[in-house]
């Protein structure tokens, strides 16, 4: 085939695609002269070129079609029948072109006289219509068959230029045969029938106002069109042209070569990496950069807007709309989204199929739509957008949605699952069966769809390119197919990491950053329960070890997979999900040529493919989406686990009698958190720095009409220099103290077991709070710093200080919480963990002025303890206070019977102090 | 590679009912693979394991620039793994993809009449019967015909069923 001809074929095919789209648009807005001009010009160019190349068949059809369109331009009313006829002509031109291409430039034999005849008849009809209000001379010699039609009344006896129904019948039989060979997708048959009907029908009444004879304008336009065509030709060969045509093969070859180049460069880099100070380093770096740029450039040549794949759809939808007698609107969003040409080619057919499917199965007939309260016109929406290295294409209709019951029935009928299995399935699971082979729910087989060779082919095609197809459907609202396909099949930049001794490649597109974790570094792995998290710029990042996700951890305990002292965290973002994947090592980044997984392994969601690395070994490429999915399910399973654990915890607590208390976590000085029981804190305040005044050598703020001294956790600390200063306010009897902290972190519910005591003043010890070692602050140390007489003042007599109180509680938390309170109140407190120890102390002769005892204790409870003390004459007169979290009238009564002097709720600190005061004053009074 | 040369002979014999088999040994048992299906014999090296794959998938490896899925035949046949010995692999094509069957050793090429094959004995382990296409009685030993299509076909999960 000579170059000119092949150029012509490509160009004409493109033009025809445009004409298709334009014609559909034109049909909708027949008064748009721009569209019509556009179509006219294109057809005219085709005609002209055909004549030049000596292709009489094509020229004949193009000419007849052009004539008809010329009539439209002159103002003839545009009928659906006429547009259909032109579309048929264009299909015919396409077929001839296809044959022409296949035959290597030989125009196929065939007779188009029927079609031409129809076109001419239509032209004549248009003339008649136009004649209603305008000069008939608008139609000229272009329609030679046409004779003068004097009568304006349209009657049905056959007019000259029209064809008889018999002839039409014959025509479509012949057309049918012809078509079958060439393009099975185009359903010419019904259309021709339709045209026949149209021809039979009376032409619409001429619209006089619209008609405007303008023979001059026409010829001018014609000239212009011709000139245009000429220019185009000239431009095609011009040097100044902005684009050139390149054969796809050339590009493909280029791409392969670049891929090879990338691989070779990788190999070289690998070699150089092993040799320090190699003189190759610098040139290789340059080569590497150039390669990267080259690769980018070649990739760019392969990118095409997805609109190219959609080009044919308006026409298809239009035809379907007529055939199915459903008005359909096609919405296309994001047509300029770019993706790899190769991918584009692969999804063309599935997309077409899905659109046809939506039109046929998805959308209801107008009556049904009206009944459902919807717009009569159904809408099919095509949307495309990028998301995380993938392109998402959505085919959505606002039809009736998928009839789950019918699918169920079909599943059972086909024996794909048993009835009981089906009953257990969720709707999305049922929907998935749409993609099973040979599955169709269309009640009847139509010419459009319902033959059951559909969605499985669609799925296969999409999966072939590493994509997925998903279905969402709401009964009555419509359904939408979501296709997710990779942007390109060729090269991706990846990060090579190691987990459990194996290397994996993570696509860099989804890697946000890398974090190095070390014990003494800023970033540390912390645990909430057993869930590892990373604090990263004020956000908590959930962590999971890669080997745990992949199920390849070889150690005993999966929890140990994450080494908190040393490790790398790959922070990944997939969609809206951000998470950290812990790996054992990070090697380097490498450009890799993705090779699809073998079919046997394609069901593994964790990998998107594999490749051969520079060193010749095969490496698996992690699929970020799979990881994100696994991460989500991992999280939910650990939630389930932690729920179980919580239940266990509750049981444990019930046994030990310990309950969680609210702790206020804050930070001051060191990064480690500090805690104080929330019940002791009166208020959390933030003061503007300017409010902090200095007087008599100490910092004060005016607080509620009084001066509140500020106390610092560590001696020598100062408040911030600007902004606001957070502090914890402790108030008692009209006096307040502000404890200056750097930051209030959190309020948590947790048990507080002080596991490590402290020698440091101001610190009770360390406890594990929310899986972190936390210092528990001794408030008793700080209060006197604010007011030296804090305790003195409260105890009216100094004697109180010498009062010895025995505090019995099995819970270390309460011992630790209340001891400072009691101390703060001026008592000399001795604690013991249970009645047994208390008896021991008493037996040893230690004197106590009062005993405060917990009720809920293992072995011997508070009541028994009290009773046995009362039985002993030596201790009969010691006041005993009961302390319980369970304060009910019955328990108070029980306490009184046991011999308690008072009964105080565990968290009622002022109550406890008051009760102690009471018993002592009573005792003192009695003594006096 | 001599094995490949034999391909030509197979083509010539295509008309007759003589079939050439490449014999391999797996766990002491002699197996025969139709020579037309054998593309390579190689030593599997640096096999990358594939987490989450079926247990009999040994991993993937690079064979002259192609990625080959290696299948551990001992595991497929539920035999104990081979200790400290060099394994061999037979490269085959299935549905336009390359697979490597990891076996113990490769033997000779035998030309046998298809008529002399017997169907699987009824008491054969079901897991073996699945992939055996019959048995040839040789001198002193039996050769089980490996049915590659059934062997690999059974390892693909049906997506529709997986969804259910």
Q: What would the DSSP string read from start to end of A875-927?
A: GTTS-EEEEES---HHHHHHHHHHT-SEEEETT-HHHHHHHHHHHHHHHHHHH
3-class DSSP state for residue A342?
helix
- Return the residue in B60, B69, B100, B152 with the most chain A beta carbons within 10 A, the one to mutate for interface testing: B60
Q: What would the two tokens of residue A618 be? A: 């095969």
Average pLDDT rounded to a whole number, residues A305-317: 84
Cβ proximity of A397 and A363 under 8 Å: yes
Q: In what order do the strands lie in the sheet with A525-528?
A: A511-518, A566-574, A577-583, A539-545, A531-536, A525-528
Q: Do A617 and B65 touch (CB under 8 A)?
A: no
Which of chain B's residues have a Cβ under 8 Å away from the Cβ of A421? 164
Instruction: Quote the percentage of chain B above a pLDDT of 90.
Output: 5
The per-residue b/e assignment along B107-135, b for 16 or more CB within 10 angstroms, e otherwise, is: bebbebeeeebeebeeeeeeebbbbbbeb
Supply the pLDDT for residue A454. Answer: 67
DSSP 3-state of A491: strand
State which residue of chain A sits closest to B160, comparing Cα positions. Answer: A436
Contact A544, A551 (CB under 8 A): no
Spell out the alpha helix ranges (H) of A438-562.
455-464, 546-550
Contacts with A503 from chain B: Cβ below 8 Å: 48
pTM: 0.40
Calpha distance A93→A785 (Å, rounded): 99
Nearest residue of B to residue A550, measured between CA atoms:
B51
Give the three-state DSSP class for A580: strand
**Cβ-contact A856, A830 below 8 angstroms:** no
The length of chain A in residues reads: 928
Evaluate if residue A554 carries a pLDDT over 80.
no
Chain B partners within 8 Å of A435 (Cβ): 159-160, 163
Q: What percent of chain A has pLDDT over 70?
A: 74
Instruction: Give me the pLDDT at residue A926, please.
Output: 42
- For residues A438 and A414, the answer to whether their CB atoms sit within 8 Å is yes
Helix (H, G, I), strand (E, B) or coil at A440: coil
Chain B residues lying within 8 Å of A594, measured CB to CB: none
A820, pLDDT greater than 60:
yes
Select, from the ranges A298-307, A359-368, A918-927, B96-105, the one with the highest average predicted confidence (pLDDT). Answer: B96-105
Smallest Cα–Cα separation from B89: which of B123, B61, B126? B61
Mean pLDDT, residues A60-88 taken together: 79
B142 DSSP β-pair partners:
B137
Q: How far apart are CA B38 and CA B109, in angstroms?
A: 11
The yes-or-no verdict on residue A166 having pLDDT over 80 is: no
Tell me what pLDDT residue A504 has: 92
Residues of A in contact with B67 (CB under 8 A): 595, 598, 610-612, 618
| Closest A-chain CA to B60 | A618
Per-residue model confidence (pLDDT) at position A562: 67
Mean pLDDT over A748-771 rounds to: 71
- B46 at interface of A, judged by CB pairs closer than 8 A: yes
Decide: A549 and A543 in contact? Cβ < 8 Å.
Answer: no
B11 vs A480 pLDDT, higher one: A480
Q: Give the DSSP letter of residue A560.
A: G
Tokens of A860: 């011997």
Provide the number of CB pairs (under 8 Å) joining chain A to chain B.
87
pLDDT at residue A436 is higher than 80: no
Distance in Å, alpha carbon of B67 to nearest chain A alpha carbon: 7
Alpha-carbon distance of A794 to A800, in angstroms, equals 10
The average pLDDT across A825-841 equals 82
A795-824: burial string, b at 16+ Cβ within 10 Å, e else = beeeebeebebbbbbbbbbbbbbbbbbbbb
Query: Is pLDDT above 60 for A772?
Result: yes
Task: Give the span between the Cα atoms of A690 and A723, in whole angstroms.
Answer: 9
pLDDT single digits (tens) A90-108: 888 888 888 877 777 677 7
- A647: helix, strand or coil: helix
Q: Tokens for A649? A: 């915890």
Of the candidates A881, A857, A858, the one whose C-alpha atom is nearest the C-alpha of residue A869 is: A881
pLDDT of residue A734 exceeding 70, the answer is no
pLDDT at residue A223 is higher than 80: no
How far is it, in rounded angstroms, from Cα A189 to Cα A410?
A: 31
Q: Does the beta-carbon distance from A601 to B51 stay under 8 Å?
A: no
Q: Band the pLDDT of A165: cuts 50, 70, 90.
A: low
Chain A hits for B59, Cβ within 8 Å: 618
- Percentage of chain A modeled with pLDDT above 90: 1
Give the dihedral of Cα atoms B26, B30, B35, B37; nearest 10 deg: -40
CB-nearest to B53 from A416, A604, A611 is A604
Q: To 5 degrees, how large is the angle CA A258–CA A263–CA A265?
A: 90
Using an 8 Å Cβ cutoff, are A839 and A640 in contact? Answer: no
What count of Cα atoms within 13 Å lies in the side-chain half-sphere of residue A888? Answer: 4
Mean pLDDT for A51-66 is 78
The pLDDT-based confidence of A575 (bands split at 50, 70, 90) is low
Task: With a cut of 50, say whether residue A813 has pLDDT above it.
Answer: yes
Q: Residue A620 and residue B60: Cβ atoms within 8 Å?
A: yes
Rounded-to-integer distance, Cα B69 and Cα A389, Å? 27
Mean predicted confidence (pLDDT) in A537-559: 77
Q: Which residues, 6+ apart, have CB-to-CB distance to A775 below 8 Å? A: A672, A673, A674, A675, A758, A763, A765, A766
Better pLDDT: A436 or A272? A272
Chain B residues in contact with A598 (beta carbon < 8 A): 60, 67, 69, 97-99
For testing contact with chain B, the best of A435, A457, A459, A601 (most B CBs within 10 A): A601
Q: Does A612 touch chain B (CB under 8 A)?
A: yes
C-alpha closest to that of A764 among A826, A852, A683, A823? A823
What is the band of A658 on the pLDDT scale with cuts at 50, 70, 90? very low
What does DSSP say about strands A338-340 and A303-305: parallel, antiparallel, or unpaired?
antiparallel
A536 close to B (CB below 8 A)? no
pLDDT of residue A491: 64
Chain B interface includes A426 (CB < 8 A) = no
Interchain contact A551–B (C-beta under 8 A): yes
Which residues, at least 6 apart from A690, have a Cβ–Cβ distance to it below 8 Å? none
**Contact between chains at A429 and B164 (C-beta distance less than 8 A):** yes
B154 in contact with A, Cβ within 8 Å: no
Q: Is A416 on the interface with B (CB under 8 A)?
A: yes
Res A148 pLDDT > 50: no
Across the interface, do A429 and B162 touch by the CB < 8 Å criterion?
Answer: no
pLDDT for res A649: 45
Which of A16-30, A54-68, A573-587, B24-38 has the highest mean predicted lDDT (pLDDT)?
B24-38
Residue B57: list chain A partners with CB under 8 A: 600-601
Whether A438 shows a pLDDT value over 70: the answer reads no
The confidence band for A796, taking pLDDT boundaries of 50, 70 and 90, is very low
Q: pLDDT at residue A644 above 50?
A: no
Contacts of B53 in chain A (CB under 8 A): 600-601, 604
pLDDT at A925 over 60: no
Which residues 55-94 of B are in CB contact (within 8 Å) with A? 57, 59-62, 65, 67, 69
pLDDT class of B7 with cuts at 50, 70, 90: very low
Instruction: Please tell me the distance from the alpha carbon of residue A91 to that of residue A186, in angstroms, as a whole number.
Output: 8
Per the CB < 8 A criterion, the answer to whether A461 and A470 are in contact is no
Radius of gyration of chain B from Cα atoms? 16
Nearest residue of chain A to residue B98 (CA atoms): A598
* pLDDT over 80 (residue A498): yes
CB contact under 8 A, A551 and B52: yes
Question: Could you tell me which residue, B102 or A165, shows the higher pLDDT?
Answer: B102
User: A279 versus A928: which is more confidently predicted?
Assistant: A279
Q: Which residues, other chains included, contact A470 with Cβ-Cβ below 8 Å and sequence gap of 6+?
A: A481, A482, A483, A484
Each residue of B33-60: pLDDT tens digit? 988 888 888 888 888 888 888 888 888 9
Q: Looking at residues A60-77, what average pLDDT do you find?
A: 78
CB atoms inside a 10 Å sphere around CB A282? 9
Mean pLDDT lowest among A429-443, A574-588, A618-632, B88-102: A429-443
Q: How many residues does chain B have?
A: 164
Beta carbons of B48 and A416 less than 8 Å apart: no
Q: What is the dihedral sign for C-alpha A290, A292, A293, A298?
A: positive
Q: Considering Cα of A764, then A767, then A770, then A772, what sign does the dihedral take?
A: positive
A457 to chain B, any CB pair closer than 8 A? The answer is: no
- Determine contact, residues B66/B38, Cβ cutoff 8 Å: no
Tell me the average pLDDT across A709-723.
76
Residue B12 contacts A, CB cutoff 8 Å: no
Strand, helix or coil at B88? strand
Query: Does A503 have pLDDT greater than 70?
Result: yes
Confidence check: pLDDT of A507 > 50:
yes
Minimal C-alpha gap between A388 and chain B (Å)? 24
Which pLDDT does position A833 carry in this prediction? 82
Mean pLDDT of A861-886: 82
Distance in Å from the first CA to the final CA of chain B: 46
Q: Is B110 on the interface with A (CB under 8 A)?
A: no
The residue ranking higher by pLDDT, A757 or A113, is A113
pLDDT of residue A233 exceeding 50, the answer is no
Instruction: Yes or no: say if B18 and B112 are a contact pair by the CB < 8 Å rule.
Output: yes
Contact B46 A436 (CB under 8 A): no
By the 10 Å C-beta count (0-12 exposed, 13-18 middle, 19+ buried), A523 is classed as: middle
A228's tokens: 């245009």
Q: Is a pLDDT exceeding 60 seen at residue A227?
A: no
Q: Which residue among B46, B156, B160 sits closest to A600, beta carbon to beta carbon? A: B156
**Is pLDDT of A368 > 60?**
yes
Chain B contact set for A617 (CB, 8 A): 46, 48, 62
**How does residue A489 score in pLDDT terms, banded at 50, 70 and 90?**
low
Task: Please tell me the distance from the alpha carbon of residue B132 to that of residue A647, in angstroms, as a whole number.
Answer: 53
A710 and A738 in contact (C-beta within 8 Å)?
yes
DSSP letter at A326? -
Structure-block tokens of residue A562? 């994450």
pLDDT of B9 higher than 50: no
B154: closest chain A residue by CA: A600
Q: What pLDDT is stored for residue B53 in this prediction?
A: 83
Mean pLDDT of all residues in A271-278: 78
Residue A850's Cβ-count burial label (10 Å; 0-12, 13-18, 19+) is buried
Backbone angles phi, psi at A703, to 5 degrees: -135, 115
Contact flag B51-A606 (C-beta cutoff 8 Å): yes
- The answer to whether the beta carbons of residues A794 and A826 sit under 8 Å apart is yes
What does the alpha-carbon distance between residue A181 and residue A96 come to, in Å, rounded to a whole number?
11
Paired strand residues for B110? B21
Q: Averaged over A235-252, what is the pLDDT?
A: 64
Mean pLDDT is highest, among A128-137, A188-197, A686-695, for A686-695
Closest residue to A421, CB basis, from B52, B162, B164:
B164
Residue A623 has pLDDT above 50, yes or no: yes
Mean pLDDT, residues A296-308? 80
- As a whole number, the mean pLDDT across chain A is 73
Chain A residue with CA closest to B49: the answer is: A502
Torsion of CA A418, A424, A427, A433, to 10 degrees: -30
Which position has the higher pLDDT, B30 or A466? Answer: B30
Task: Copy the structure tokens of residue A728.
Answer: 């914890």
């Amino acid at each position: 085939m000579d170059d000119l001809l092949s150029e012509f074929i490509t160009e004409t095919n493109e033009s025809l695609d445009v004409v298709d789209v334009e014609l559909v648009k034109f049909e909708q807005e027949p008064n748009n002269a721009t569209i019509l001009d556009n179509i006219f010009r294109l057809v005219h160019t085709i005609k002209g070129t055909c004549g030049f190349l000596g292709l009489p068949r094509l020229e004949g059809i193009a000419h007849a079609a052009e004539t008809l369109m010329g009539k439209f331009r002159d103002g003839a009313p545009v009928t659906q029948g006429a547009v259909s006829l032109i579309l048929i002509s264009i299909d015919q031109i396409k077929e001839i072109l296809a044959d022409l291409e296949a035959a290597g430039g030989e125009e196929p034999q065939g007779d188009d006289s029927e079609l031409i005849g129809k076109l001419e008849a239509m032209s004549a009809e248009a003339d008649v219509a136009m004649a209603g209000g305008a000069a008939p001379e608008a139609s000229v010699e272009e329609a030679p068959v046409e004779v003068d039609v004097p009568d304006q009344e349209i009657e049905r006896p056959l007019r000259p230029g029209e064809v008889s129904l018999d002839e039409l019948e014959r025509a479509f039989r012949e057309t049918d045969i012809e078509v079958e060979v060439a393009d099975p997708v185009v359903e010419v048959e019904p259309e021709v029938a339709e045209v026949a009907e149209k021809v039979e029908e009376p032409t619409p009444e001429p619209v006089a106002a619209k008609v405007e004879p303008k023979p001059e304008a026409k010829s001018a336009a014609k000239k212009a069109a011709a000139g245009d065509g000429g220019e185009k030709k000239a431009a095609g060969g011009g040097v100044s042209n902005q684009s050139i045509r390149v054969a796809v093969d050339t590009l493909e070859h280029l791409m392969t070569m670049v891929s090879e180049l990338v691989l070779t460069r990788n190999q070289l880099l690998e070699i150089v990496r092993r040799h320090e100070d190699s003189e190759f380093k610098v040139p290789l770096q340059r080569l590497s950069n150039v390669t990267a740029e080259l690769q980018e450039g070649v990739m760019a040549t392969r990118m095409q807007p997805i609109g190219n794949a959609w080009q044919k759809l308006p026409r298809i939808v239009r035809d379907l709309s007529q055939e199915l007698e459903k008005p359909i609107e096609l919405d296309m969003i994001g047509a300029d989204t770019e993706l790899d040409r190769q991918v584009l080619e692969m999804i063309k057919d599935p997309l077409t199929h899905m659109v046809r499917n939506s039109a046929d199965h998805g959308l209801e007939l107008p009556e049904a739509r009206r009944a459902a309260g919807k717009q009569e016109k159904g809408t099919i929406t095509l949307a495309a957008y990028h998301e995380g290295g993938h392109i998402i294409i959505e085919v959505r209709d606002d039809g009736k949605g998928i009839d789950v019951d019918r699918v169920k029935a079909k599943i059972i009928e086909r024996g794909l699952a048993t009835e009981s299995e089906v009953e257990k399935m969720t709707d999305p699971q049922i929907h998935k069966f749409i993609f099973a082979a040979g599955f169709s729910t269309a009640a009847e087989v139509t010419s459009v769809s319902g033959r059951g060779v559909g969605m499985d082919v669609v799925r296969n095609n999409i999966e072939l390119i590493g994509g997925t197809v998903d279905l969402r459907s709401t009964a009555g609202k419509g359904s939408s197919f979501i296709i997710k396909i990779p942007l390109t099949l060729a090269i991706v930049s990846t990060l090579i990491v190691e987990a459990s001794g194996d290397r994996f490649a993570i696509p860099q597109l989804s890697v946000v950053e890398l974090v190095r974790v070390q014990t003494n570094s800023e970033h540390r792995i912390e645990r909430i329960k057993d869930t590892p998290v990373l604090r990263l710029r004020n956000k908590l990042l959930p962590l999971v070890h890669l080997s745990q996700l992949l199920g390849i951890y070889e150690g005993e305990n999966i929890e140990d997979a994450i080494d908190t002292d040393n490790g790398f965290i790959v922070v990944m973002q997939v969609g809206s999900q951000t998470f950290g994947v812990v790996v054992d090592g990070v090697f380097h980044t490498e450009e890799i040529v993705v090779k699809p997984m073998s079919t046997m392994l394609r069901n593994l969601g964790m990998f998107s493919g594999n490749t051969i690395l520079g060193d010749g070994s095969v490496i698996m490429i992690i699929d970020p989406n799979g990881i994100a999915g696994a991460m989500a399910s991992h999280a939910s399973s650990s939630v389930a686990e932690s729920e179980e654990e919580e239940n266990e915890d509750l049981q444990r607590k019930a046994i030990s009698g310990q309950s969680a208390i609210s702790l206020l976590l804050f930070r001051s000085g060191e990064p480690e958190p500090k805690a104080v029981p929330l019940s002791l804190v009166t208020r959390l305040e933030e003061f503007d720095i300017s409010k902090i005044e200095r007087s008599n050598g100490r910092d004060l703020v005016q607080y509620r009409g009084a001066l509140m001294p500020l106390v610092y956790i560590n001696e020598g600390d100062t408040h911030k220099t600007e902004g606001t200063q957070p502090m914890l306010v402790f108030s008692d009897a009209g006096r307040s103290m502000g404890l200056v902290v750097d930051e209030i972190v959190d309020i948590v519910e947790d048990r507080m077991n002080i596991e490590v005591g402290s020698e440091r003043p101001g610190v009770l010890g360390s406890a594990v709070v929310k899986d972190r070692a936390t210092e528990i602050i001794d408030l008793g140390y700080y209060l006197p710093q604010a007011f030296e007489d804090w305790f003195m003042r409260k105890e009216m007599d100094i004697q109180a200080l010498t009062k010895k109180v025995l505090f019995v509680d099995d819970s270390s938390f309460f011992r630790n919480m209340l001891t400072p309170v009691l101390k703060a109140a001026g008592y000399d407190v001795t604690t013991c963990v249970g009645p047994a120890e208390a008896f021991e102390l008493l037996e040893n002769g230690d004197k106590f002025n009062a005993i405060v005892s917990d009720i809920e204790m293992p072995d011997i409870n508070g009541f028994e303890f009290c009773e046995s003390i009362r039985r002993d004459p030596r201790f009969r007169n010691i006041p005993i206070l009961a302390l319980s979290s369970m304060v009910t009238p019955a328990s108070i009564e029980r306490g009184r019977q046991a011999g308690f002097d008072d009964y105080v709720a565990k968290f009622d600190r002022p109550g406890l102090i008051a009760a102690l005061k009471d018993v002592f004053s009573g005792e003192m009074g009695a003594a006096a | 590679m001599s094995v490949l040369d034999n391909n030509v002979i197979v083509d010539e014999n295509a008309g007759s009912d003589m079939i050439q088999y490449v014999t391999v040994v797996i766990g002491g048992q002699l197996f025969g693979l139709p020579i037309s299906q054998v593309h390579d014999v190689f030593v599997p090296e640096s096999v990358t394991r594939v987490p989450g794959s079926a247990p009999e998938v040994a991993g993937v490896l690079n064979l002259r620039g192609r990625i080959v899925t290696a299948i551990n035949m001992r595991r497929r046949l539920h035999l104990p793994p081979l200790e400290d010995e060099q394994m061999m692999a037979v490269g085959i094509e299935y549905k336009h993809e390359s697979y490597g069957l990891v076996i113990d050793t490769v033997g000779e090429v035998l030309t046998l009449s298809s008529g002399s094959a017997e169907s699987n004995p009824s008491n054969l382990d079901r897991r073996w019967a699945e992939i055996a296409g019959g048995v040839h009685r040789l001198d002193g030993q039996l050769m089980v015909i490996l049915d590659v299509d059934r062997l690999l076909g059974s390892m693909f999960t049906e997506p529709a069923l997986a969804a259910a």
